[in-house]
A and B are shown apart, each in its own frame.
Chain A
Amino acid sequence: MGKSFNLKKFISNNAIIILIVLLGILTGFTTKNFFTLNNFKNLVVNVSPRFIIACGVSGCLITKGTDLSAGRAVGLAACLSAMLLQSLDYSARMLPWMPDIPWPVALIIVMVIMGCFGAVNGVVISMLKVPPFIATLGMQTIIYGLCSLITNNQPMGGYKKSYLTVASGSLGPIPYLMIFAVVIGVYFWFLYNKTRHGKYMYAIGGNENAAQVAGVNVTASLIRIYILAGCMYALAGFLVGAKAGGASTATGNGYELEAIAACTIGGVSANGGVGRVGGILIGVLVFEILKICLQFLGVDPAYTYIAQGLVIVIAVALDLRKYLQKK
């Protein structure tokens, strides 16, 4: 006998997604140019770096942690990328002595630096047992301070053409940003579902003590998770900088809240142990489609912020509801 379809359960589990799909359909029928290839490309280009950030944060959430330093880390990564990849003939170069380096080398350098910040987070959380909320809140402010120091609070620009092409270029009809996001998505899917690291991550999120007793090196796993998160923020910052054509200390501000909310909408429980890469993508899409719909409808950005805040609250309330039902 097949399982009967429970409409009430389906609606309660996917309320936000249903709302946003309805909003998208309404927007498409009441405005011009919504259902166009250009708009779809715009959506993809906006979603890609946010999806990468959300993938990084997801590991922290699945292990019952959080990473409030994500947004500022993206900003610092964007600024570091800017410093390494400014055009040689740009008059206001931050590092005049820096030779011309290819963008993949700059990306690796930025990932190593941000991975170190992630390692610090991981060590503080796993070894010093500082709650992730506090550890990453402190790191958020430290990173912002460092970013202000190294940039002298000056916005940066004058990038090399090859760096700008990373964000603006495409392989046929597929933007490079989308290719980055797809590669990261596939990698994280593989990591979460087919590797020991993924199994350890879910075990720690489900019950850390039981995982420890079962032989999981919880400390090492958590450090790896936060290092990987740092590397993802580096990649996202690199791409955000290329897309915007500039970077400043304000870059990435608030991205962590969006990423955490997107993960929650996509089914990554704040209570740990649960989360899928597909769900993360859906969560990020929901947020971006909401923003784009309201933009197309000509709504004041202030209302967009209010709507986003309400979506976050609804997502967390639905997650809590699932938890209470299980209990």
Chain B
Amino acid sequence: MEGERKGTTEQGAAGLDGAIGQDTMERQAAADPEEDISGKKEETGMFESIYDRLPDISIKSLDRFIVLCVVVLVMVILVGVLKARHLL
């Protein structure tokens, strides 16, 4: 019961303070990226955590790239072997 009351009170408080809180939240949201960037700069030096510095890559596009590289590898070996056997 107390827990429910607390929950209702909290909800009510959230609703009442919503408008006032929004300004504060917007200011915080503006401040946070700056903190994040400076935090990141402190954590990672140049060339460290290289994967973190890459642009957002989807796993699907990376999979396609890997498959492409494997296909090219197989073709390079195949061409090398065919040329060695004077078939190309």
User: Which chain A residues have a beta carbon within 8 Å of chain B's beta carbons?
Assistant: 12, 15, 19, 23, 64, 129, 131-134, 209, 270-272, 294, 297-300, 303-304, 306-307, 310-311, 313-314, 317-318, 320-321, 323-325
Q: How long is the Cα–Cα vector from A271 to B54 in the complex, in angstroms?
A: 12
Inside 8 A of B63's CB, which chain A residues have their CB?
12, 321
- In the complex, what's the smallest C-beta–C-beta distance from B17 to chain A, in angstroms? 35
Using A299-B84, A303-B80, A307-B73 as known contacts, say yes or no to A318 and B66 having CB atoms under 8 A apart: yes
Closest 3 CB pairs of A and B: A303-B80, A299-B80, A298-B84
B76 to A306, Cβ gap below 8 A? Answer: yes
List 23 A-B pairs, Cβ < 8 Å.
Answer: A12-B63, A12-B66, A19-B70, A19-B73, A129-B45, A131-B45, A131-B47, A132-B47, A134-B46, A294-B80, A297-B81, A297-B84, A299-B77, A299-B80, A300-B80, A303-B80, A307-B77, A310-B72, A310-B73, A311-B73, A313-B69, A323-B51, A324-B59
Inside 8 A of A304's CB, which chain B residues have their CB?
80
Q: How long is the Cα–Cα vector from A226 to B80 in the complex, in angstroms?
A: 39
Q: How long is the Cα–Cα vector from A321 to B67 in the complex, in angstroms?
A: 12
Inside 8 A of B79's CB, which chain A residues have their CB?
303
- Main SS of chain A's interface residues? helix
A-contact bits for B26-59, CB 8 A (1 contact / 0 none) = 0000000000000000010111111100100101
- In the complex, what's the smallest C-beta–C-beta distance from A121 to chain B, in angstroms? 15
Q: Does any Cβ of A come within 8 Å of B6's Cβ?
A: no
Q: How long is the Cα–Cα vector from A77 to B45 in the complex, in angstroms?
A: 31
B69 to A64, Cβ gap below 8 A? Answer: no
Q: Does any Cβ of A come within 8 Å of B83's Cβ?
A: yes
B49 to A310, Cβ gap below 8 A? Answer: no
A303 to B76, Cβ gap below 8 A? Answer: yes
